[in-house]
Structure 1
Amino acid sequence: MGLLALGAATVGHANAADEFASTPSTRGQAERADQALQVTPYLWAAGLDGRISPFRRAPTIGIDKSFSDVLEGLEFGGFVNLWFRRGAFVFSADLMYVSTRDGHAFGPLPPLPVPVPPGTVVDGRVDSRQANMTLQAGYRTVDTEDFTLDVLAGVRAWWLSNDVTVSALGTSRGYGERFDWVDPVVGLRAFQRLHGGWSLQAQLDIGGFGVGADSTWSVLATVNYIASDRFSVSGGYKVLDVDYDHAGDVYDARLKGPAFGLTYRF
């Protein structure tokens, strides 16, 4: 099972940094300085390691894939982060969808309605799809010219599906399973302005608490640069960890790797 994912690399400050301007000179700019909306599509070049049970009746397997391994099986990946602020209130939505295919899987598979004698080598193709959405709202507790701190709370929802097509002795059959869950999360986001359009940002959250997953957490740190009045670029590193084990469905995995984003400000 492979995965390529998106992380959230936003650039923000309640006044100057939110608007890419240090001193609003018109009434329109002044109004914009109190609110901001930005969209950030970006790539998370993540590897994946952990233990996964793709099918409820299948044994749990260990997995350790680099980003290059993941990329070989990638069919489609779509990722976007939305961020909005009005006054001291902030809201973010992070969405991703990934589809991968492993076309050369061999070995034991879950019980299927396929008449295969014991010891027969089975050729299988596994199609995996994952959707992930994190919604958080919060309040800006520290707001200075060069530093801000936001307190956030929300949910992280997961949808996973795996479909296998097995071929043996001239017979092909298909089988699929899907599972999903929702985790509560709480977190912090800090922003530090540097010189010459540069800035640093760090965001972390923790959740699960046994409601959906036993635990989940993520950390993202980026270096950001204001490229123009509308655009900024970001580069950094993100880790996302989740430990889900329920009714035979297991997804205990850690994704980590560099993240690169392009932010457009409305």
Structure 2
Amino acid sequence: MWASGLKGNISPFRPGPTVPIEKGFSEVMEDLNFGGFLNVWARRDKIVVSGDMMFVNTTNSKAGNLPALPGIPAGIPVSGDVDTKEFMLTLQAGYRFYDTPEVTLDGLAGARYWHVSNELTVNALGQSRSYKESFDWFDPLVGIRGFARINDRWSAQGQADIGGFGVGSDMTWSVLATVNYVLTDRASLSVGYRVLDVDYDDDGHVFDTRMKGPVIGATWRF
């Protein structure tokens, strides 16, 4: 579970304005329909691979009255919903260049894919109108991952990457740091913190956001 807040500037529709957004985790949860976050690691000898997937579906609802417009009287009640689906997939592969029983370091390279879809539905005077738009992009990445064993039960690990470089977004980066406790030979629990930042601006679409917050999870090793 990633208890993430959201801050930045977005323009979900090409004809629309760029608007600032700032929501804490509790506000995100109020709008949340479904969300999931999964991180997978695999290693064979010195070769390592990493997969990181996130999906979030939120609905933001507003209601109010229209001001006086030509041909439309003031006070007409209007309600609207913005349904947003956000999908992110990161795939990386690399090499374990430092390997001891206490500390390991992995160098990584790969790509991050983003897909953002927004649907606006407006209801007024007994009628409903909808407008939908989506956009996506790829970002090349380079990264590093480190693991340090504290004792038989406790360990710490950190993972960071940076990319974009104007290929998809102008810049994107992420950092994940956790402290882990071993329950069994296969199972462990983790707590930590994650930050994911992306600055995308292309063809009228703007997605310049930073998501950050605490992480709690369980790991199964096989």
Structure 2-normalised TM-score?
0.93
Number of the residue aligned with 1:81: 39
Query: What are the Cα deviations for residues 156-202 of structure 1, in whole angstroms up to 9, with x where unaligned?
Result: 00010000110122221111000000000101111111013101111
Aligned-partner Cα distance in 2 for 1:50–1:259: 21
Indicate yes or no: 2:2 matched with 1:66: no
Query: What are the Cα deviations for residues 44-81 of structure 1, in whole angstroms up to 9, with x where unaligned?
Result: 10000000011111101000000000000110112222
Q: Given that residues 85 and 117 in structure 2 are in contact (C-alpha distance below 8 angstroms), is that contact kept between their aligned partners in structure 1? A: yes
Indicate yes or no: 2:35 matched with 1:44: no
The residue type equivalent to 1:61 in the other structure is: V
Displacement, 1:236?
Answer: 0.2
> Gapped runs of 5+ residues in structure 2?
none
Displacement, 1:97?
Answer: 1.2
Map 1:1-266 onto structure 2 (within 5 A).
43-104=1-62, 117=72, 122-266=78-222
Aligned-partner Cα distance in 2 for 1:61–1:185: 28
The residue type equivalent to 1:45 in the other structure is: A
Number of the residue aligned with 1:21: none
Aligned-partner Cα distance in 1 for 2:206–2:214: 26
Query: What are the Cα deviations for residues 74-94 of structure 1, in whole angstroms up to 9, with x where unaligned?
Result: 101122222110000000111
Give the 3-state SS of the residue equivalent to 2:27 in structure 1. helix
Aligned-partner Cα distance in 1 for 2:131–2:64: 15
> Gapped runs of 5+ residues in structure 1?
1-42, 109-114
- Which fold has the larger relative contact order, with Cα–Cα distance below 8 Å and residues 6 or more apart in sequence? 1
Q: Given that residues 105 and 123 in structure 1 are in contact (C-alpha distance below 8 angstroms), is that contact kept between their aligned partners in structure 2? A: yes
Query: What are the Cα deviations for residues 140-169 of structure 1, in whole angstroms up to 9, with x where unaligned?
Result: 010011001100000000010000110122
Aligned-partner Cα distance in 2 for 1:105–1:206: 40
Aligned-partner Cα distance in 1 for 2:125–2:185: 63
Displacement, 1:122?
Answer: 3.9
Query: When you count strand as a share of all residues, which structure comes out higher?
Result: 2
Aligned-partner Cα distance in 1 for 2:7–2:72: 33
Aligned-partner Cα distance in 2 for 1:230–1:143: 21
The residue type equivalent to 1:223 in the other structure is: V
Aligned-partner Cα distance in 1 for 2:65–2:110: 40
Structure 1-normalised TM-score?
0.78
RMSD value over aligned CA atoms? 1.9
Aligned-partner Cα distance in 2 for 1:81–1:239: 14
Q: Given that residues 2 and 37 in structure 2 are in contact (C-alpha distance below 8 angstroms), is that contact kept between their aligned partners in structure 1? A: no
Query: What are the Cα deviations for residues 103-149 of structure 1, in whole angstroms up to 9, with x where unaligned?
Result: 226699xxxxxx98597664210100011000000000100110011
Given the superposition, is the C-alpha separation of residues 84 and 118 from structure 1 closer, same or farther in structure 2, using an over 3 Å criterion?
Answer: farther
**Paired-residue identity, %:** 57
